[in-house]
Structures are given as C-alpha cells and as structure tokens.
Structure 1
Amino acid sequence: MANELQNRNNFFDNLMNMRNLMNDDFFSDLTPVANHMKTDVAESDKSYTVKIDMPGFDKKDIHISYANDILTVTGRRDTFDDDSDKEGNILHSERRYGQMSRQYRLPDADRKAIKAQYTNGVLTITLPKKSEELDDDSHIEIE
C-alpha cells in the first residue's frame, strides 16, 4: 500500500512539474516588456532623472533617443554565453535574446543637454528641462 501511495504522489508531482513548465513556456512570450525594464522616474524643477534596470546588456547595445517629448530606450541582446555542461546539456534557461524597448513622455527636456550613464546594469538618464527666459516686457496694460 505504501508503494502504491508513493507512486501516486510521484505521478501527481510529475504532472504538476509538467504543467508548470508548460505554463512557463506558454506565458513567457506574453510577459510585458515593463517587467524586464524596471524604471524609476523622478522630476525636479530643473530636470527629470530616469533609472532603468538593464542587467546583462552591453553599453553598445543600448540606444537612447529623445524626440517630440518622448524618451525612447531600446536594448538589444543578440547572444549570451552558454552555461551548459561538458556535453552541451542545459536543463532550464530563462535568459532571452532579442530587443526590448520602452517610451516615456517627458515634456520640455533640453535635448542637447541630456546625459546618460550605464553602471552595474543600471542605465541613468538625466534630462535637464528647457529654461524659460523671463521676458520683462510681458506685462500688458488694460485700456
């Protein structure tokens, strides 16, 4: 009786493991890009600061652009190092390759003054705001 119970438990454990693997594979392509590019955006009177987690990317594979008040960050990973054993076997791999991109609406940034740094897998972009020059002649008299 104990063997029969053990075999039944192993059968159900194997079914659950297969279901989990199938769900992982089935839903992995539906995971939103936002889950892969965790972002913090801060705003002050003078600038925006955007911090994006992009671990495992080479600096040369990250493209940043700013146009029409939209900051676009794109990362591309074509390959990754293979961590298989001596026989080339990989039991499970969650690393992906391809391209991911996010956009952020950040109005009135001074495009020529934007700075970016990539350190320890975190991309930090500082976008100074355009300075508004006060015009002393803006007062209008009422007639």
Structure 2
Amino acid sequence: MANELQNRNNLFDSLMNMRNWMNDDFFSNLTPVADHMKTDVTEDDKNYTVKIDMPGFDKKDIHINYANDILTVTGHRDTFDDDGDKDGNVLHSERRYGQMSRQYRLPDVNKKDIKAQYKNGVLTITLPKMDETDDDENHIDIE
C-alpha cells in the first residue's frame, strides 16, 4: 500500500512539473507588451509626468497622441541588423521588434502645452493640468 501511495505521489509530482514547464514555455512567448515599455507616471499640482523606457527606438518611429483623456504612445522598431552569426543562426533572442503601444488615462490635461523629450532611450512626456479657469465645465446657479 505504501509503495502504491508513493507511486501516486511521484506521478502527481511529475504531472505538476510537466504542467509548470508547459506553462512557462507557452507563456514565455506571450509576455505582455507592457513588459517592454516600462513606465513611471508621477503627478504633482501642475503636471503629470510620464517616463517610458524605449531603448533602441528612433525618435521618428515614436508617435504620441492625447485625446479623450487618454495618452497613447506607439513605437515601431524594425528587425535588428545584428541578429545571429554569419549564417543567421540565433540561439536566443529577447529583444522585440514590430509595433508596441501603451495607453494611459490622464484627465484634465492642457493639450496645447504637452511636451515630449526622448533622451538616452527614455521618453519623457510632461502633460500640464488645466487650470480651473481653463475647465470647460460651466456651473449654473438655479434661481
């Protein structure tokens, strides 16, 4: 009886290890894009500041849009020229290419004064908040 229980436990352990291995292998190729556009968002009384790691992108391939309280940042990177050896063999590659995009909900931004800077692989976007006088809301008192 003890031998049968031990075999059952070994089979269960083997199945769990196989499941973990399959999940690791399967999901390793489905890493969210967010992992490749690491972002810090800070806020103070006057601005939102968004810093996004985008190493290896050309400035001309980064597009920024702000509409309906949503900041959208999209980057496009072509394939890498240095992939593999002289025969094109690649053993392992984690660098991504293609199009990547992130969105951030940042309300009440003064659109005309948004500024962006790209330096040393970091995109910094400063989004000034609207002054209360700039607000489109118009309170009407009831008589």
Q: Normalized against structure 2, the TM-score is what?
A: 0.72
C-alpha separation in 1, matches of 2:32 and 2:86:
34
Residues matched between the structures, number: 117
Structure 2 counterpart SS, 1:82: coil
1:75-124 CA-partner distances (Å, limit 9, x unpaired): 11122122422333222222221111111111111111000001111100
Aligned to 1:118: 118
- The residue correspondences of 1:9-88 to structure 2 (distance < 5 A) are 23=25, 26-88=26-88
Aligned to 1:8: none
The one-letter code matched in structure 2 to 1:88 is G
1:35-61 CA-partner distances (Å, limit 9, x unpaired): 111111111111100001111111111
Structure 2 counterpart SS, 1:41: strand
Structure 2 counterpart SS, 1:102: strand
In structure 1, runs of 5+ residues without a counterpart are: 1-18
Question: By how many angstroms is 1:28 displaced?
Answer: 3.6
In structure 2, runs of 5+ residues without a counterpart are: 1-20
* Residue 108 (structure 1) aligned with residue 98 (structure 2): no
Question: By how many angstroms is 1:132 displaced?
Answer: 1.7
State the identity as a percent.
78
Structure 1 counterpart SS, 2:103: strand
Question: By how many angstroms is 1:64 displaced?
Answer: 0.3
Question: RMSD of the alignment, in Å?
Answer: 2.5
C-alpha separation in 2, matches of 1:116 and 1:49:
10
C-alpha separation in 2, matches of 1:133 and 1:43:
20
C-alpha separation in 1, matches of 2:96 and 2:48:
30
Aligned to 1:14: none
C-alpha separation in 1, matches of 2:130 and 2:57:
31
Q: Normalized against structure 1, the TM-score is what?
A: 0.72
Question: By how many angstroms is 1:27 displaced?
Answer: 2.2
